[in-house]
C-alpha cells in the first residue's frame, strides 16, 4: 500500500480521509505539548526519516 505522512497531532478527519483513499498513514511529531514547543528538537526529521 502507499503511505502518506501526517503530523501528529493532525486534524481529526485526516486519518479517515486518507485511509478511505487506500493510503496508509504514517506520523511524525512536530509539537511538544508538555513543553509547548514546535520545532526540530522534538524529532521532526527523525520521524520523517523512519518512513522514507
How confident is the model over 15-50, as pLDDT tens digits? 999 999 999 998 888 888 888 888 766 677 777 787
For the chain, give percent helix, strand, coil, nearest 5: 35, 35, 30
Record the cell numbers describing residue 32, joined without a space. Answer: 511538544
pTM of the entire structure?
0.66
Q: What is the pLDDT of residue 41?
A: 67
Domain count along the chain = 1
For residue 8, the enclosing domain spans 2-49
Question: Residue 15 has what pLDDT?
Answer: 94
| Pick from 31, 33, 29, 34: nearest CA to 50 | 29
Output the pLDDT for position 36. Answer: 86
pLDDT at position 22 is 95
- What's the rounded Cα separation, in Å, for the pair 24 and 7? 14
Amino acid at each position: 500500500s502507499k503511505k502518506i505522512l501526517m503530523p501528529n497531532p493532525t486534524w481529526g478527519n485526516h486519518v479517515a480521509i486518507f485511509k478511505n483513499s487506500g493510503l496508509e498513514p504514517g506520523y511524525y511529531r512536530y509539537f511538544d505539548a508538555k513543553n509547548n514547543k514546535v520545532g526540530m528538537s522534538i524529532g521532526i526529521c527523525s520521524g520523517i526519516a523512519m518512513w522514507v
